Structure 1
Amino acid sequence: MSLEVVNGIKAKKDYVAVVGLGYVGLPIAVAFAEKFKTLGFDINQEKIDTYKQGIDPTHEIGDEKIQSSTLEFTTDPARLQAAKMIIIAVPTPINGDKTPDLSPVVDASQIVGKNLLKGSIVVFESTVYPGVTEDICIPILEAESGLCCGQDFKVGYSPERINPGDKVHRLDNITKIVSGIDEETLEEIAAMYEQIIHAGVYKAPSIKVAEAAKLSENAQRDINIAFMNELAMAFDRMGINTKDVIDAMNTKWNALGFYPGLVGGHCIGIDPYYFIYQAEVLGYHSEIIAAGRKVNDGMATFIAHKVIKKMIQAGKNINESNIYVMGISFKEDCPDMRNSKAVELCKQLTGYGITVKVVDPVVDKTEYKRELNQELVEIKAVSNADCLIFLVGHQQFKDLGVAEIKRMFRKNENQSKHVIIDIKNVIESKELEAEIYSYWNL
């Protein structure tokens, strides 16, 4: 096997390029830049300017690493012509009706196609349903370039597996699934990723298998969390603490260790819909995956109703209460607010005429204000609270002592209780006085 593309990149004769520099594309581009001449392309000029200033708003790489990286940032699509391997890592969201929105990957394919040269390899990392790479993306590349796939250029698929905010499972220590349109392409792509993935690669037998694997692993996680959410809603009616049940259950060797919670973000909360959509197109109606999505999508409503119920039971005048939502991103220690169910919960409470203030030490203040048209509250500025709603388990929240949390509440001048809604079990409830605090966890 000649590995012509890889050898050209290793010799620094050619570039590797990454199209789409978000939570997935940026770490990949920086990793390749440590060894090869690498281009980082994005259509967002503001984002590129931020990176050029040495600032990493994703927190995935860190400012210091951005500043020291040799990665060449650009918004000029013509520069892609210098690359012999182009990796497309753009998001694949869903429409309002839960159907796949392929416009980002279509647009990226058009840009790449217009600048694609003979002998190049295009690798898609965006999460899609089986068939998108070969049936939608390849024809676009061919139409825009005037080249023939398989003869003039090659294509592969390698699903991203980055877990934003996770400091343990990183790009280099997660096995990378790779696939290609033929054996030669597969070997080229595998050899390229092996340069940056210490955990090694897994060679899938086809592009469709690799596409399906990504959807399946996220749908599996979605279903497991949905099961725990269903248990939590049932146990709440039974007067049983779900965490106590999970702690007992997890003493068995084959317990899976899942916990209930809000399921949002750009992977688990979206990818199952790609499976559901394509299955429906082919005449199969998903039962289990669709049911899991229904349960998880309903959790924001369940928690919103629980907040209102607990406030009323505590004797609070909801419309005059200070309610703080602790955490607005879709997961702990990650600034990403895309498809955040915490945002949805805030909107539901606001819909009832309830005013909420949001505290999140991780989310970018400017982005938050642009998205929700209000200011974030600093942790130290929380005061005279009637209710604290811990939606996201940021480490800074976990580091708060019970004394600090108590300080956040207003002095108990009447007989009403202070309310704590603890979705992520941030607080040790045993240290709170039952006669003063009404504590509820999921």
Structure 2
Amino acid sequence: MRTSSTPRYASAVSDQHEKRSGSRTSVELFAGGGGLARAVHDAGFRPLLFNEFAKRACETLVANGAKKVADGEKPWIPQPGEAVPLVEGDVRDLDMTYLNGEDVDLLAGGPPCQPFSLGGVAKGDEDERNMFPQMFKAVRQIQPKAVICENVRGLLRPSFEPYFDYIQQELSLPFVKREGATWQGHNQTLIDLLKDTSSIPKDERYEVVKVPVNAADYGVPQIRHRVILVAFRADLGVDVNAFEAFVKKQRYSETALIRSMLLGEYWERHPKVPDHVRARVHARLPKTPPADDGCAPWRTLRDALKGIRAGEDPLPEVPLDQLDRKTEHGGFAYHYGWPEARIYDGHTPNELDRPAKTVKAGVHGVPGGESVMLLDQRVADATAQSGWRYLHRYMTVRETARVMTFPDDWNLEGPRGEKMRQLGNAVPVLLGEFFAKAVADALNEAEGSR
């Protein structure tokens, strides 16, 4: 079985990676199933603390090398190569002041998104699940050099715009506490202070960058719209404008994908695709290739199944007569079929030659067509307009993990629905790694110019 036998965070690494990991430190709140945790680690940060509330997600973090802190005990400061302490429980009960003298480089987290999600009741600030105040508390207690905060695109909706502006202003001045005021009253106080910050110590204010993202534009084989806030402590002298320009530059595009298909480069990577599938894909494309936009092609679901990481092996097909919930194919963990997938209006499947649809976390795992995949196989069907009907099945947990760009050595705990929920709630690893590396580079440049 292709799963990690050595805890990820306690395993030996190369000299170069160990040097990078030991030179920068991080803390992650709302760690979930570990997407951002893995991303930040892969970007060269050495994690000092994880916090997560959900039991199954905590089991996943432990399965990948974290060590649960016993109830009532204080977390330890892990040394390079030691297990990361995991505090399981409500972040509101977590005291992180012990980390204040550790010169933490990065605080990362994605506060629960239900208050701002299009799929939720969208109560925003009124929702008790709004955990942004806990991120600000952590900033006050730790005073990290930088912050990465990922959340749903719903925060950009006009109805939430005033509150999202308030979130950014509160992150800019986290030490100016609300003290019982309404958020609107506190927001006005922050607006007034931001007009002239000379009275506020530089190490108590942050410069904030807002980045709306589509994960596909960063090499993730999935259409996933999110918003990422990055903040740098003002006393560090980070060139925030240069950072913002760098992270907002598009690197992958749909235009480049279309161009690669029409020029044949995409199909050269996938030579076994049947001619009728190619014809179906080309039927929706323009007749002539668009101009080269300088980007790499969006990665597709087919790319993900073949493998987009160095040394990643292709996932074997799951036979339709083996959708038995238990047979793991090709030695890949969690790569087993699931029966009774359906297609109907509002429940359309993923297509192999497009980025996957947004992986979501439903009550019973990934909902709707987000977990159904249209296959290359087809059967004659007189009721279909083309005379053919393409077959489909549920995506496996491993295939979904590939779409979220988790490496195959990442362990997931719980039944299938819980695994899928953790994946749907996670930050795609490659997206998080891109931003974490950009933060590290910005800090390196600022510190090197002193």
TM-score past 0.5 threshold: no
Taking structure 1 as the reference length, the TM-score comes to 0.38
Larger radius of gyration: 1
Could you say which structure has the greater relative contact order, defined with CA pairs below 8 angstroms and 6 or more residues apart? 2
Taking structure 2 as the reference length, the TM-score comes to 0.37
